Structure 1
Amino acid sequence: MKFERFIQKNTNNITIATAILIAIGFIANWLGLHTLYTVAFIIASIIAAVPIIIRAYESLRVKTISIELLVSIAVVGAFIIQEYNESAIVTFLFLFGGFLEEKTLARTRQSIKSLTEMAPTTALVVQDDGTTVETDVDDVDEGDVVLVKTGAQVPVDGDIVDGAGYLNEASVTGESKLVTKREKDAVFSGTILDNGTLQIRATKVGDDTTFAKIIELVEDAQDTKSHAEKFIDRFATYYTPAVILIALIVGLISRDFRLAITVLVLGCPGALVIGAPVSNVAGIGNGAKNGVLIKGGEVVDTFAKVDTLVFDKTGTLTKGTTEVSAVKNYAADAKQVSALVAKIESLSDHPLGKAITDYATNKQIDFDKLAVTNSTTVKGQGVSATVSDHQLLVGNQKMMTANQVELTTSQLADLHQLQSEGSSTVIVAVDQVIQQIIGVSDVVRDNVRPALAQLKQMGIKHLVMLTGDNQITANYVAEQLGIDEVHANLLPEDKVKFVKQFKVAGRTVAFIGDGINDSPSIATADIGIAMGGGTDVAVETSDIVLMRSSFAELVHAYGLAKKTVLNTRENIVIAIGTVVFLLIGLIFGYIYMASGMFVHEASILVVIFNAMRLIQYRPRSSKQQTATKQSEVSHA
């Protein structure tokens, strides 16, 4: 065991030594020193063959016939027939190829390595007397308060109990834009405090933090094999013994031992075996770097085939929070009316009231100093109050009718328009005159429509919305976004039924949702996609997680899946093409053992470099795709 570990540790040094000995051999041959030439190649063959033979032996111990076994047999055979230069060059090329393969594969896993290195290791835990103690993150308990200073990493998931600052959340969301955080806001482990000082009460620690789960998910995903990898593994199980058998038959029929061992070298399926895994590693790594967690190669394969995207509405297509979506103003001073309404609504905890006060705050309308008297809430209608000597009625049409305030024809048209768009409406009357009609609704996420259009250009055929909301609101949102099919007033079990119906109809379905009620549909679909801001259940159940809850991430994930599958196929073609090329070369007498090994190792590097292109993948914009299609049409 010690010898094997020593050889494994010094394989790169053995490779260098072999290269030096081969160089010495060629120089000696050029100088006419034939004894030195032979000795140099014999020593090079022996020392380079040792690590290869050890790996072959270790594979045989677990009943696996590996590529190393083919090379070992070929090298020993070349040594027996005294082709020392061939055996030395073949072993060197094999070891050197392995070295380059290891280095280039490390680059494809760089995103995981960088994630791991970003994980916080210590935390400043605040003690009862106000002092801090530097503690290993594994020893921090839920409920502990930790101090985070400017430039430091947040070591836990938690809520801010004191302080404010700007956080870089790129490690969690993939978005490097600074986010303002203040008291009561939630923060994530692994994010970096760019400016400020925070005290955070830990809600999740250690392996339970969001950042730790991201690392675990991506590491597991890169080890999960795709359909192509599984097929190639099964193929290699039979292929490698078949190569040995073919070489044996060739040797027996031709009586040419050199030809038989050359067949062993040329038959090595190295590029074929590594082509699919390296593509998946690079693709999943790209996703992790860009805020898309893909849970394995099999998910990549299936997602690339998806033709139907099914969406939940609230929290997925929409932001999931009510906002003022429209203000129909009939007053001379709109800001003054907005201030009066916001002051009344600031006394209420109703969601509509909060949306209105948030609207005023965002518009920098000052209403805090206004005085409210005689405030009365009328159940099912609204609120009446006196604000700064103005009599206000804020509520629905029933309240206006009850107080003899009539809406004009145009105002009624505005009211019906807002209601047809799925908005809840708030009518404002000041001193018995209608001054505003405010529409409050769950607002559609930014850039959803162009993202859905781009997904259709990329191959999605059906866009479906399944929602528990009413039909009017669902239809309005669907019309805004270009959704093909809408089903409303659904319970969670109804959504599952629709997903099953789509699958029975032969569609490959991806369901995108964010809540616990979406988890059954996420689990039922061919591919379940969860918004990263959703519930833990949805995230755990899903196959893909969009960490920023962004539709740009959805476009990136779908394009990346298609590109990764295409890249895998390219690598398989390269691998099979290499074997065919070598066999043709062998038949016509242009390929020998050393040159065959060179081409074999070169093909491995080609498939690795081809896969590495996925690391830099970015989906083309919708405009670019349209321009490309128009160009193709014009040239047809």
Structure 2
Amino acid sequence: MKFVIKHEIKGRIRIHILQSRMTFEQADTLEYYLSNNKLVTSVKVRERLQDATISYIGSREDIIKLLTSFKYNNVEVPDVYLQNSGRELNREYWDKLVNKVFLYGANKIFLPNPIRECITLTKSVKYLWNGVRTLASRKIEVPVLDATAIGVSIARNNMNTAGSIMFLLGIGEILEEWTHKKSVDDLARSMSLNVGKVWLCQGEQDVLVSTSDVREGDLVRVHMGNIIPFDGTVVSGEAMVNQASLTGESIPVQKNAEGIVYAGTVLEEGELVIRVDQTNGSSRYEKIVTMIEESEKLKTSMESKASHLADKLVPYTLLGTGLTYALTRNATKALSVLMVDFSCALKLAMPISVLSAIREASLHNITVKGGKYLEAMAEADTIVFDKTGTLTKANPTVVDVVSFNGQDSDELLRIAACLEEHFPHSMAKAVVDAAAEKNLEHEEVHSEVEYIVAHGISSMIDGQKVVIGSHHFVFEDEKCTVDPEKMDTFNSLPPEYSHLYMAINNRLAAVICIEDPLREEAAAVIQSLKMAGIGKVVMMTGDSDRTAKAIAKKAGIDEYYSEVLPEDKANFVEKEKAKGRKVIMIGDGINDSPALSAADIGVSISDGAEIAREIADVTIGADNLYEIVTLKALSNSLVKRIDKNYRFIVSFNAGLIVLGVAGIIPPTMSALLHNGSTLAIGMKSMENLLD
């Protein structure tokens, strides 16, 4: 690619691409290419200017080399990324806004007054008709007020005022629609399917492959706790599938042979083999957009109150107009009241504030599935943490494999990895990664793998029953034993590590010691949350009391509970809610899903189990727990902004009414100031909440 450097400082460069014209697809391709490079921390491509601003780490020469080697045809970009980037949407609404302002100004300058009046009359039909329809449905709401203000202005032959009102209303409509659509699109993209690997059925074996390698007609096996990666037809198996992301209904639906399944739904129980019908993923995106637009998830109670209050104030505005005329017999003063209403600003500013906050959260790698969850976060006073993969590092590592049956430790690790790779959990990932580092390859020689939530895994290998899991699962549920001559070794296992037990034919075969240290930032994050208004911090884990106690002490946890089951976590959340507390639950595993559903706001870790991400109301990145603090700060700031907006709208518009009734300002000035302030507060509400 040919380009010139327009400006640069250390770690940041702005270039101009030398080509005749840049299409939306080319801009998206370049942005995708750069943003997926480890050297690039952020990138913004402007297709109209053919400029790109790149922030990076490392050397300048590496970035120059990266740019010069770029070719559009050599980059494979996912269809969903190109089809739903939002770039074309932004251009469309920006052009609408510019055209509206330009035409309004041009009409004022170049068209004679009679023609302008005809245009004003023509445009007024839409607003007048909306007002009549609202009255016909026995409602006195904002369209009635708009129609009355425009109608009275026309009746008084004040076409300039009527034209100004409609122009400002039109600008407000464009801004509101633009902000809403962009926020919905951003939210839908972040919720869109993001499955990297799937199990492809090839004869008697299942092979882990990239989703890009799957074609229509292929057979794919989906295990419990995973997202169904493609639209398809069930070939075999029986399962309960959570379709909440598409239908909004959280009750799982039973699926068996010949049933239809959809990309992005979650397999909660059982296992399915599906025949792939569609691989491009676009259908999931479209379904999510529809679901968001039709649901009330984006509405906070503050928004709903604003909307209802706005409609309730309309009759009082009309009443105030009538009383002013009755008392003063001055149509100009009465019209001043009519020109000013609280409803426009209330209905515009509140949704824009919420949707902008959702969009801002995405800039911090936080996906919020609806505005009401930001409100819940602001009101929350209790937070419940899972331990493994949440308070502790997202990438625990295997430090030792202790053999108890005489087999080589590498062979035991290979067997464990063969079974663990089927299930999404940070401990399982540690085992799989350890085997990969040692190049311990394996074939799928086991029978069907059964996963018991919060306990472990059971399967058959060469006619022998193999179980892997917690101490409770292996020794109490499965009644496995330790050879007497190995008891000293068993009792001297290092206490500073988490232990994963594997037994073959009911005899302990190996203990896998896993280092699962507390995140460096955990204690500071918990302290920051307490300073931000969280009064109670709780940790719940299936791990031993010894390990839980040590972690709780280091992190500054108020209460901790060890060796708990998924239902215990959910029951605890329900009890806290019954006490009147607002509860946040943060987890990353299948066993956290019931508690995530029960909490006022469920927060999942981005690289945790897919079912946890799907059920959760918010997803944060796995790299840093400070995103929780950011989310809390963002939510608190949103509530403050909405309260501030309320106070400004009421005081400013009340002041305009007083000035109008006193005859200090004419109706046209009242309308201009009112609509101008509405747009100003709408634009202000689009600004980022956090510096």
Shorter chain as normaliser: what TM range? 0.5 to 0.7
Alpha-carbon offset, residue 47 of structure 1: 3.1
Q: Report the alpha carbon displacement of residue 423 of structure 1 after superposing the two structures with TM.
A: 4.0
Name the count of aligned residue pairs: 480
For residue 50 of structure 1, what is the amino acid of its counterpart?
V
Conserved 8 A contact 1:292-1:544: yes
Aligned partner of 2:131 among 43, 48, 56? 56
Question: Could you tell me whether the CA contact under 8 Å between 2:570 and 2:594 is conserved in 1?
Answer: yes
Q: Map residues 539-618 of structure 1 onto 2, 5 A cutoff.
A: 539-546=613-620, 548=622, 551-614=625-688
Gap change, CA 1:282 and 1:398, over 3 Å in 2: farther
Change (3 A) 1:425 1:593: closer
1:317 corresponding residue in structure 2: 391
Q: CA deviation at 1:397?
A: 11
Give the aligned residue type for 1:316.
T
Question: What is aligned with 2:156?
Answer: 81
- Give the structure 2 partner of residue 111 of structure 1: 186
Matched residue, 1:226: 300
Question: Cα distance 1:538–1:13, how it changes in 2: closer, same or farther (>3 A)?
Answer: closer
In structure 2, do the counterparts of structure 1 residues 439 and 72 end up closer, same or farther at CA, with 3 Å as the change threshold?
closer
1:304 is displaced (CA, Å) by 0.9
Q: Quote how far apart the aligned CAs of 1:607 are.
A: 2.2
Q: CA deviation at 1:510?
A: 1.0
Identify if the C-alpha distance between structure 1 residues 67 and 356 changes in structure 2 by more than 3 Å, giving closer, same or farther.
closer
Offset of residue 95 of structure 1: 3.5
- Structure 1 residue 105, shift from structure 2 partner: 5.5
Residue equivalent to 1:453: 527
Residue of structure 1 in register with 2:146 after alignment: 71
Kindly state the Cα deviation for residue 251 of structure 1 after the two structures are TM-superposed: 1.4
Superposed displacement of residue 512, structure 1? 1.7
Give the counterpart letter for 1:531 in structure 2: I
Gap change, CA 1:220 and 1:53, over 3 Å in 2: closer
Other-structure match for 2:328 = 254
Distance 1:506 1:117 in 2: 34
Matched, 1:236 2:322: no
How far 1:232 sits from its partner (Å)? 1.7
Q: How does 1:482-501 map to 2 (within 5 A)?
A: 482-501=556-575
- Distance across 2 between alignment mates of 1:54 and 1:576: 28
1:42 aligns with 2:128: no
Deviations 1:52-84 (A, max 9, x none): 223333444544434343233233323333334
Residues 231, 443 of structure 1: alpha-carbon distance in 2 compared, 3 angstrom cutoff: same
Letter in 2 for 1:143: L
Match of 1:177 in 2: none
- Check whether the contact 1:451–1:552 (CA below 8 A) recurs between aligned residues: yes
Q: Deviations over 1:528-552 (max 9, x none)?
A: 2233444454344432233658524
User: Is 1:143 the counterpart of 2:209 in the alignment?
Assistant: no
Structure 1 residue 117: Cα displacement: 11
Are residues 100 and 297 of structure 1, via their aligned partners in 2, closer, same or farther at CA, if it must alter by over 3 Å? closer
Measure how far apart 1:116 and its partner are: 10
CA distance in 2, matches of 1:116, 1:312: 23
Q: Report the residue type matching 1:557 in the other structure.
A: L
Task: State the TM-score, normalizing by the size of structure 1.
Answer: 0.61
- Corresponding residue for residue 469 of structure 1: 543
> How far 1:264 moved relative to its partner?
0.9
CA pair 309-116 structure 1, distance change in 2 beyond 3 A: closer
Structure 1 residues 65-121: Cα deviation after superposition (integer angstroms, max 9, x where no partner) = 34343233233323333334433444444434444555565665563587699999x
Instruction: Judge which range, 226-235 or 212-221, deviates more.
Output: 212-221
Rounded to whole Å, the distance in 2 between the matches of 1:489 and 1:113 is 37
Shift of 1:526: 2.1
**Which of structures 1 and 2 has the bigger CA Rg?**
1
| SS of the residue 2:157 aligns to | coil
Structure 1 residue runs of 5 or longer lacking an equivalent are: 1-9, 26-35, 129-135, 146-154, 159-188, 191-200, 328-339, 367-378, 380-394, 403-411, 427-436, 621-636
Report the Cα distance in structure 2 between the residues aligned to 1:19 and 1:137, rounded to whole angstroms.
Answer: 55
CA gap 1:598/1:482 in 2 versus in 1, 3 angstroms: same
Q: Which amino acid is the alignment partner of residue 501 of structure 1?
A: K
Q: Which SS does the other structure have where 2:686 is aligned?
A: helix
Give secondary structure in 2 for the equivalent of 1:311.
strand
Does the aligned pair in 1 maintain the 2:184–2:293 contact within 8 Å? no
Amino acid at match of 2:122: I
How far is 1:228 from its partner?
0.9
Contact 1:109 1:282 in 2 (8 A): no
What corresponds to 1:151 in structure 2? none
Structure scoring higher RCO (CA < 8 A, sep ≥ 6) equals: 1
| Alpha-carbon displacement from aligned partner over 1:277-312 (angstroms, at most 9, x marks no partner) | 111111222334544332322222111111211022
Q: Is the partner of 1:613 in helix, strand or coil?
A: coil
Residue 593 of structure 1, CA deviation: 1.5
Determine if contact 1:516/1:537 at 8 Å carries over to the other structure: yes
Cross-structure match for 2:109: 23
TM-score of the superposed pair, with normalisation by structure 2: 0.57
Residue among 240, 255, 264 paired with 2:338: 264
Amino acid paired to 2:127 = I
How far apart in 1 are the matches of 2:128 and 2:552? 64
Counterpart of 1:507 (choices 581, 587, 591) is: 581
Residues 303 and 438 of structure 1, relative CA distance in 2, 3 Å threshold: closer
Please say if residues 390 and 587 of structure 2, whose CA atoms lie closer than 8 Å, have aligned partners that are also in contact. yes
Structure 1 distance, partners of 2:387, 2:280, is 34
The question of 1:298 aligning with 2:397 is answered: no
Change (3 A) 1:116 1:530: closer
Give the letter for the 1:275 counterpart. A
Provide Cα deviations, 1:349-384, integer angstroms capped at 9, x if missing partner: 48899969966975x899xxxxxxxxxxxx9xxxxx
Q: Identity over the aligned pairs, expressed in percent?
A: 26
Instruction: Return closer, same or farther for 1:57/1:314 CA change in 2, 3 Å cut-off.
Output: same
Q: Decide whether aligned partners of structure 1 residues 476 and 449 sit closer, same or farther in structure 2, where only a CA change above 3 A counts.
A: same
What is the alpha-carbon distance in structure 1 between the residues aligned to residue 295 and residue 365 of structure 2? Answer: 14
